[in-house]
Amino acid sequence: MPIRPEDRPRYGAGWAALSRRLRFERAGGRCECDGRCGSARHPGQERCAAVHRDAHPVTGSKVVLTVAHLDRVPENLNENNLMAMCQACHLAYDRDQHTATRAGRSGT
C-alpha cells in the first residue's frame, strides 16, 4: 500500500530494503496470507496464490506485493509482525482501519 507522506518517518530508514527482502526472498514473490485477511478468496489456512506482477487468480488485476504490519503499528519492524500480502489481501486485512480513517477516527 502506498505510504502516506506524513507517515513515512514512522517506518524507519531501512524500511525499503526490509520490505523488498520480505517480499522477494522470504515470500518468494508470492502472497503469504494464510486466510487471516478474512477474504473468502482463500478460506481457512490456504495460502493465497497471488504472485507479484502476475494476474491475480481471483480479481485478474496485476498483483502488487506489499508488506502488512499485523499489529498495524508501522514502527514495529519485527519480522514476525510483518507479512507479504497482495494488495487484495492487504486491503481486506486493513479494512476496518481504512474505514475508520475515512470516517475521521483512528483505526489502531
The tens-digit pLDDT sequence of the chain (108 residues) is: 578 888 899 998 899 999 999 999 999 999 999 988 887 666 555 789 999 999 998 889 999 999 999 999 999 999 999 999 999 999 999 887 766 566 675 545
C-alpha span between 86 and 63 (Å, rounded): 6
Please report whether residue 105 resides in a domain: no
Its domain, for residue 51, covers 5-97
Please report whether residue 108 resides in a domain: no
Q: Which residues of 61-70 are buried (b: 16+ CB within 10 A; e: fewer)?
A: eebbbbbbbe
Please report whether residue 10 resides in a domain: yes
C-alpha span between 40 and 97 (Å, rounded): 19
Give the β-pairing of 65-69 and 82-86. Answer: antiparallel
Count of domains for the chain: 1
